[in-house]
Structure 1
């Protein structure tokens, strides 16, 4: 495992990329409402990325056809935007996006409620987001990688939710996926030592039911095996001497 350490100048470039990505997410958010299609969201993202002078990191990556992943309800990750996929009251939709600015990647995901959702669904969103924040706080020099993983697992399993094993977070920089992999499950105190200059895409993927997933015939869309809803939140985080720096905040 070759974990690439970024210089302060490189982290600053990644912060600029992350700031642009946050603007993309902010542009999409008002359009997440009943009656919108996932392709409507894609079109907003494509326009905003172009306006910011960026490149859509996902489009063409291993053949992926879109700028966004829009995963609805029981879709865990990698849902493909579609003009026929209409969002309805009570749905949730995970919007995952990556941007390249000046050769540096940023990656972030938010799961939105569509209109009013059930209390059970809102709890899934709240706990998943809280687990991401808990994981970010573990991004401290001298800690261990699986301190991050354990923070997610402990919080989400304590709430009765399933932690996805098939997909994990990752290092990020001049490539979308770098070492190390960042699982959302693991034993605290294990894994590589955390060092200044590491940049990680931390992304809890949490199911209301069991952790098992399967990939549909499109070769991309992952869904929960039991049909339960799934939430996904992600930030790109740099480990610095001052503590964790969230580049996509």
Structure 2
């Protein structure tokens, strides 16, 4: 698979920088719509485009919510806030990155955030040519349960390809058999979704905001 990996690395670094700026905007009382608008404007000012509308999930909203125009919703005083952004270059390279921001939450939820970060790091460390995506799911699942948490079984990561946010291969957060192998040159987004319960779970409402 031939692609200019340095272009993808550059987009990844840009996305990281934008995410860091966006994280500072997530404060109690801040309007969700304004946060999304500012991040998307920053992305364009840097010479890139949003790969998808900025997603902000609060507490039980796991993924795929973005503010509608003039949404009056604000960041609560106590919350787990997931900020999820995408960056698209002029030649189709995409970065997809997210962070969960704890705001005045209790110790258990802080541990949930740390366990999620740990699962992400272990999964990234395990990636190599030929690894099956089900093995990555097993690493995430075992890490979550070793810390007393479960996972969302119906959400996960994915490969990325030129102009396509979802490149065709899903990376689960649970063990799976007979799954595709990752190969050198592939671009992947690892997305652990941990839940505060020790039991695995599924999303309750399948709705995406575009």
Q: Among 11, 15, 39, which residue is 1:21 paired with? A: 15
Describe how 1:89-238 pairs up with structure 2 within 5 A: 89-102=77-90, 103-114=92-103, 116-174=104-162, 175-187=164-176, 191-209=179-197, 210=199, 211-215=201-205, 219-220=207-208
The count of corresponding residues between Structure 1 and Structure 2 is 203
Task: Tell me the equivalent position of 1:78.
Answer: 64
For the 8 Å contact 1:90–1:118, the answer to whether it is kept is no
**3-state SS, counterpart of residue 204 of structure 2:** strand
Q: Distance in 2 between matches of 1:46 and 1:99?
A: 9
Task: Show structure 1 runs of 5+ residues with no match.
Answer: 59-66, 222-249
2-side partners of 1:24 and 1:173: how far apart? 21
Of 20, 35, 43, 2:29 maps to: 35
Matched-pair contact (CA < 8 Å) for 1:98–1:105: yes
Separation of aligned partners in 1, 2:2 and 2:20: 27
Query: C-alpha deviations, 1:16-48, integer Å up to 9, x for none?
Result: 211221121122111111111211210221111
Partners of 2:110 and 2:167 lie apart in 1 by 32
Partner of 2:54: 68
Higher RCO (Cα < 8 Å, 6 or more apart): 1
* In structure 2, distance between residues paired with 1:213 and 1:6: 36
Whose strand fraction is larger, Structure 1's or Structure 2's? 1
Tell me, what secondary structure is at the counterpart of 1:97? strand
> Per-residue deviation at 1:91?
0.6
Deviations 1:112-164 (A, max 9, x none): 112x2210110110001110001001102243322211110001122222211
Q: Alignment RMSD, CA only?
A: 1.8
Check whether the contact 1:72–1:79 (CA below 8 A) recurs between aligned residues.
no
Q: CA deviation at 1:170?
A: 0.8
Structure 2: gaps spanning 5 or more residues: none
The separation in 2 between residues aligned to 1:89 and 1:166, in whole angstroms, is 29
In structure 2, distance between residues paired with 1:193 and 1:107: 21
TM-score (norm. length: structure 1): 0.76
